[in-house]
């Protein structure tokens, strides 16, 4: 059971994602964001354990030279280095990047986000 990132490209891809976290409510928004998860070509990586059915996530992904990216319309600051922050946190080395929304079906205890 869990959330997986799958890389169906021929290049290494780095993923960041956001998830609901009531512990961040005092920061102004009950969401956390974390990254970067490296997924080599044609493999997958489990990034969250437990049932994910019915949950909503957001993700952003890009390859090393940033020539490929998978983005969305919900913008937040993401730094170049590893992070585990509340949604509203940023830093001077962050980029404002758009994350793509994913709603996991209620019937799916496992879910894979695949980039092609």
Count CB neighbours of 21 within 10 A.
16
The torsion angles phi and psi of 90, rounded to 5 degrees, stand at -145, 180
- pLDDT, residue 28, reads 83
Query: Tens digit of pLDDT per residue, the chain (116 long)?
Result: 999 999 999 999 999 999 999 999 988 899 999 999 999 999 999 999 999 999 999 999 999 999 999 999 999 999 999 999 999 999 999 999 999 999 999 999 999 999 99
Q: What is the pLDDT of residue 42?
A: 98
Instruction: Map out the domains of the chain as residue ranges.
Output: 2-115
pTM, entire model: 0.95
Whether domain 2-115 has CATH 2.60.40: the reply is yes
Q: Which of 80, 85, 61, 86 is nearest to 11 (CA)?
A: 61
């Amino acid at each position: 059971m869990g959330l997986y990132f799958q890389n169906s490209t021929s290049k290494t891809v780095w993923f960041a994602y956001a998830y609901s976290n009531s512990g961040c409510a005092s920061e102004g928004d009950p969401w956390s964001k974390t990254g970067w998860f490296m997924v080599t070509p044609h493999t997958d990586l489990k990034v969250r354990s437990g049932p994910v059915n019915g949950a909503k996530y957001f993700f952003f992904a890009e390859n090393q030279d940033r020539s490929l990216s998978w983005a969305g319309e919900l913008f937040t600051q993401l730094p170049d280095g590893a992070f585990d922050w509340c949604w509203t946190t940023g830093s001077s080395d962050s980029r404002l990047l758009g994350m793509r929304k994913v709603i996991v079906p209620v019937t799916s205890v496992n879910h894979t986000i695949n980039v092609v």
